[in-house]
Amino acid sequence: MSLSLHTLQPSKHSKKDRKYIGRGLGSKGTYSGRGVKGQGARSGVSGLKLKGMRKIILSTPKLRGFKAKNPKAQVLNLGDLTKLFVGGGRITPKQLFAKKLITDPTAVVKVLGKGTVTEKFTIQGCLVSASAKEKIEKAGGSVV
């Protein structure tokens, strides 16, 4: 017999039919694998109680707390930037992290408009509020 697409079939006994229990007269067994009487034989019992998993699940340590999908941005004010970046230049989250203005250089950083801008600097890789952007551009800087 030659091997081709229309002659392919699974080997014998590799595909076993599912045991169908508790579905009418033709099904196997009257108790449907639940035993005789008792809590586990009733409907509405959690599968964990039936399989002895409850104790295992209760004994495993759980991760507590909540982690937001979109964490809040790390907030900075223009006043902080003008104090620490005295010659102007380009400002990135890595530089802000190096100067300890933010705690995580990979997280979102937002610059707010509180304070005055005296230097000409370019902000890159940060979110900037409308008032902050206006003040930066008025001083001759830019937001990338």
SS (H, E, C) 68-97: CCCCCCEEEEHHHHHHHCCCCEEECHHHHH
Q: Is 123 exposed, middle or buried, given 0-12, 13-18 or 19+ CB atoms closer than 10 A?
A: buried
pTM of this prediction?
0.52
| Pair 119, 87: CB distance under 8 Å | yes
Percent of the chain past pLDDT 90, that is, above it, reads 8
Half-sphere exposure of 6 (CA within 13 A, CB side): 0
- Residue range 74-143, CATH number: 3.100.10.10
Q: Which of 22-31, 41-50, 119-128 has the highest mean pLDDT?
A: 119-128
* Both tokens assigned to 93: 């989250």
Summarize pLDDT for 67-126 with one digit per residue, the tens: 888 888 899 998 888 888 877 788 888 888 888 888 888 889 999 988 888 888 888 888
Q: Where in the chain is the domain with CATH 3.100.10.10?
A: 74-143
Q: Are 33 and 21 in contact (CB under 8 A)?
A: yes
| Token couple for 20 | 């169908």
Q: Which two tokens stand for residue 85?
A: 């970046």
